[in-house]
Structure 1
Amino acid sequence: MLDWNDLRYFLAVAREGSTLAAGRALRVSQTTVARRIAALEQALGIKLFDKRQAGYALTPEGQDLLSRAVQVGAVVDDFTRAASSHARELRGTVKITTEEVYGLTLVASVLTELHDLHPDIMIELDTAGTVRDLGAGEADIALRATKIGAEQPAGLVGRQLCFDDWAPYCSRAYAERRGVPRAVSELKDHAFIGGGGGNLWLQYQAWLQQLGLESQVAMHHATSGGLLAGVRSGFGIAVLPCAVADADPELIQCLPPRSKHERGLWLFTHERVRHTPRVRTVVDFLWDRLSRHIRQLEAKQAAA
């Protein structure tokens, strides 16, 4: 079987006149060049060079094949340049999947800057609430909460942004009407907004049941973005992610988040696409802007 890579050695020896000079040009050993030429001759079943004291001279057969080898080399070089050009281009679609509340706030807040920097990258933001399989190509990047130290699917590459803290919040408008509950015992005098969808609602509902507050739910939203909208409207109280709500001047944290929950907010991609320029560019951009956002919140809380 012909190894196409051996044509590089054939062309180099034909051009340089010796295996030693060809090795220098290709940055390999003379022995490697001689071995690859021998392998090519064996694969083709013909002799390409005559070994002389002055070096390697093309045989008539080798001379006849040289022009064709040059054409193949030109095609390969053109193919390589085209592939490299495509790889360097920062264009195309990058799909980001995340919980709706994060998509509407943390991610959406930085997309304008991303577009200004890289206008040929089109972002597809998926906030459907379904956990997408990055390994299967259902998304390129995921901003999602997961248990710290939990084993992730094979090939997943991630960095933790912060702890995924959630706490009950109300709006300033609600606080003016009803006050701000500062203890668990005071929560029973307030209206709650339930929902959030999927696993979020299961955990939220369990927390309400544990505190005997499920009967206080006076409105139900199907998504996490709905919880945020409900709180902002002044209707009542709901649990929200601290990374989002603490940055909103119109929202007030009623009680501190639950401690020792061992969940973190992570930025994930997959080994399959992590080195694709457009994906790598978006991942690095999101990491820089979102981690900066987290640091600013931490500094604000430390100064309070």
Structure 2
Amino acid sequence: MYDWNDLKAFLAVAETGSTLAAAQTLRVSQTTVARRIAALEAATGLNLFERRQAGYALTPVGEAMLASAQAVRDAADRFDEAAGATSRDAGGTVSLTTMEIFAVTVLPPILRDLRAEHPAIRIQLDTSDDQRDLAAGAADIAIRNSKQPTGAGLVGRRIADNPWTVYCSRDYADRHGIPHTRDELAAHPFIGGGGYVWEPYQAWLRQYDLEGSVVMKYDTGTGLLAGVRSGMGLTILPGFIADREPDLIRCIPPRSDDTTGLWLLTHERLRHVPRVRLVLDFLAKELMKLARDH
């Protein structure tokens, strides 16, 4: 069985008359072209060219095969054009799940630009803090905060580091100062809660004996963000979000063992669906740009 690249070499030599000119057309070495011609002749059992000092000339058999080879190339070109058009014109609904705190901070301008560039795409946004099962079809794409995502058939990429640490507002810092140590933290009120965030958050507070410092609890991560913006006290937030908030100040560095990252995920059965692939690529580009620019 011959390789498609062998057939491309055959066409290039037939149309240019030499392996050198064909190599320049294909942007490969002359040796590669000669090797591919030899491989095609071996695979078909046909002598396609006469090797002459002035170049390569088609044999009668080669002449007879040329039209078929050109038809294969034309069909491949039509396939490429159709695939490109399908990708460009991809439309339909793509369901995206992420934490509400991401949905109301970094995502709106990204989704606005996605809409402007690809108006045929409709986004169905799920802002539940519950982790949706992509394998079961609960969503097409997830933006997830995790040390290492788990789930059957998940594929994707780690967009950026996203450790969580303590923040306060600038107004709060002006009125009460910025705590930098455990003892200083203990003298300040904490805003707790934050949905699924609360379990690791509470473990962090317990480790530093600060559970008694919590003066109010919110149900969501967005509530934490609103509370700390108001100057009510300190809270723990993801750095990817909080470090981009002009009104917030990081009080202490993240823990050195915090390997939490921001992940962009889908299920393996969806990765090549045009509308899903389009949204994945767009989100990856824009989120990674945010990570680089910070």
**Is the shorter-chain TM-score for this pair beyond 0.5, marking a shared fold?**
yes
Aligned-partner SS, 2:106: helix
- 1:95–1:123: 8 Å Cα contact kept in structure 2? yes
| CA distance in structure 1 between the partners assigned to 2:109 and 2:269 by the alignment | 27
Name the structure 1 match of 2:188. Answer: 190
5+ long unaligned stretches in structure 2: 1-63, 73-81
| CA distance in structure 2 between the partners assigned to 1:120 and 1:137 by the alignment | 22
2:281 to 280, 284, 296: 284
Name the structure 2 match of 1:30. Answer: none
Aligned-partner SS, 2:293: helix
- 2:87–2:278: 8 Å Cα contact kept in structure 1? no
Name the structure 2 match of 1:72. Answer: none
Name the structure 1 match of 2:229. Answer: 232
| CA distance in structure 1 between the partners assigned to 2:151 and 2:257 by the alignment | 24
- 1:191–1:237: 8 Å Cα contact kept in structure 2? yes
| CA distance in structure 1 between the partners assigned to 2:171 and 2:277 by the alignment | 42
1:275 to 253, 272, 280: 272
1:157 to 134, 149, 155: 155
Name the structure 1 match of 2:166. Answer: 168
Name the structure 1 match of 2:210. Answer: 213
Following superposition, the deviation at residue 261 of structure 1 comes to 2.3
Aligned-partner SS, 1:189: coil
5+ long unaligned stretches in structure 1: 1-19, 28-81, 298-304
After superposition, the C-alpha distances for 1:35-70 in whole angstroms (9 at most, x for unaligned) are xxxxxxxxxxxxxxxxxxxxxxxxxxxxxxxxxxxx
- 2:163–2:259: 8 Å Cα contact kept in structure 1? no
Following superposition, the deviation at residue 201 of structure 1 comes to 0.5
Following superposition, the deviation at residue 145 of structure 1 comes to 2.1
After superposition, the C-alpha distances for 1:106-125 in whole angstroms (9 at most, x for unaligned) are 22231111111112211111
Quick one: which amino acid aligns to residue 260 of structure 1? D
| CA distance in structure 1 between the partners assigned to 2:185 and 2:245 by the alignment | 22
- 1:87–1:276: 8 Å Cα contact kept in structure 2? no
Aligned-partner SS, 1:110: helix
Alignment of 1:67-78 (within 5 A): none
Aligned-partner SS, 2:160: strand
2:241 to 231, 237, 244: 244
Following superposition, the deviation at residue 87 of structure 1 comes to 6.8
Quick one: which amino acid aligns to residue 229 of structure 2? R
Q: CA distance change for structure 1 residues 179 and 167 in 2, over 3 Å: closer, same or farther? A: same
| CA distance in structure 1 between the partners assigned to 2:281 and 2:122 by the alignment | 16
Are 2:230 and 1:255 equivalent residues in the alignment? no
Alignment of 1:9-158 (within 5 A): 24=68, 89-148=89-148, 152-158=150-156
Name the structure 1 match of 2:50. Answer: none
Aligned-partner SS, 2:123: strand
Larger Rg: 1
| CA distance in structure 2 between the partners assigned to 1:263 and 1:130 by the alignment | 17
| CA distance in structure 1 between the partners assigned to 2:182 and 2:266 by the alignment | 39
TM-score, with structure 1 as normaliser: 0.67
Quick one: which amino acid aligns to residue 131 of structure 1? Q
1:223 to 220, 225, 249: 220
Name the structure 2 match of 1:201. Answer: 198
Q: CA distance change for structure 1 residues 262 and 84 in 2, over 3 Å: closer, same or farther? A: closer
Following superposition, the deviation at residue 264 of structure 1 comes to 1.9
- How many residue pairs were aligned? 223
Name the structure 2 match of 1:17. Answer: none
Following superposition, the deviation at residue 295 of structure 1 comes to 1.0
| CA distance in structure 2 between the partners assigned to 1:110 and 1:85 by the alignment | 24
- 2:154–2:266: 8 Å Cα contact kept in structure 1? yes
Q: CA distance change for structure 1 residues 84 and 167 in 2, over 3 Å: closer, same or farther? A: closer
After superposition, the C-alpha distances for 1:8-36 in whole angstroms (9 at most, x for unaligned) are xxxxxxxxxxxx99x94875xxxxxxxxx
Following superposition, the deviation at residue 85 of structure 1 comes to 7.4
Quick one: which amino acid aligns to residue 144 of structure 1? R
Name the structure 2 match of 1:32. Answer: none
Aligned-partner SS, 2:104: helix
Identity level (%): 50
| CA distance in structure 2 between the partners assigned to 1:234 and 1:120 by the alignment | 42
| CA distance in structure 1 between the partners assigned to 2:83 and 2:137 by the alignment | 21
| CA distance in structure 1 between the partners assigned to 2:216 and 2:274 by the alignment | 45
